[in-house]
Amino acid sequence: MTLPTPAGPAHAVVTPEDGVLHLFGWHDPVDNLPRLAPHLRDRGVQTATGPERVRDAVARYGDGELAALDELAVGQPGGAFFQAAWLAMRRIAPGHPVTYTTLAADAGRPAAVRAAASACARNLVALVVPCHRVVRTDGGLGGFYYGLDVKRALQAHEARFA
């Protein structure tokens, strides 16, 4: 499904049987689908309007209800540290970015700053697992898989409503 966001149209991949989000991003879906886990990719992807609760949560986020995405279930493959880092990202307050160093500590491994950055880079459900809220120690944006313009747009949106 394609959804409007403050950073432009994004697509989402949701398993219909459980409503779990497995991919959310701004690249062309054909280019982004190879990032899915093979067992999901092999099922095939169908274009659909998707679950109403996903559409509704993203719309409410766009309208300024920044916590609306918290209710969405996500699933992505990764080891224990990545899972902890993605959970820690979901606890970052909108409009209040944290550093990769802080993310590593919040994920339980303060020395794993590079691994924290890698968790951001491998995050398949950007926006819902808000890796755009993680910045460098010097305040610079760092990287973002979907481009720094998307990261800036999301941070500016959240700063308006935080």
pLDDT of residue 42: 77
Domain co-membership, 54 together with 98? no
**Percentage of the residues of the chain whose pLDDT score is greater than 90:** 77
Run of H or E residues at 22: strand 21-25
What's the rounded mean pLDDT across residues 15-27? 90
- The Cβ of residue 50 has, within 10 Å, a number of other Cβ atoms equal to 19
What's the rounded mean pLDDT across residues 44-63? 86
pLDDT of residue 43: 76
pLDDT of residue 46: 67
Over the chain, what is the mean pLDDT?
93
Q: What is the CATH number of the domain that holds 119?
A: 1.10.10.10
Residue 33 to residue 44: CA distance in whole angstroms: 10
Instruction: Show the domain range for 99.
Output: 80-161
Domain co-membership, 15 together with 85? no
Domain co-membership, 47 together with 90? no
Domain co-membership, 56 together with 32? yes
Domain count, the chain: 2
Lowest average pLDDT, out of 36-40, 64-68, 132-136, 140-144, goes to: 36-40
**Interstrand relation of 98-99 and 21-25 (parallel, antiparallel or unpaired):** unpaired
What's the rounded mean pLDDT across residues 65-87? 96
Give Dmax (Cα) for the chain. Answer: 43
pLDDT of residue 162: 86
| HEC string for 63-101 | CCCHHHHHHCCECCCCCHHHHHHHHHHHCCCCCCCEEHH
Residues taking part in catalysis: 131
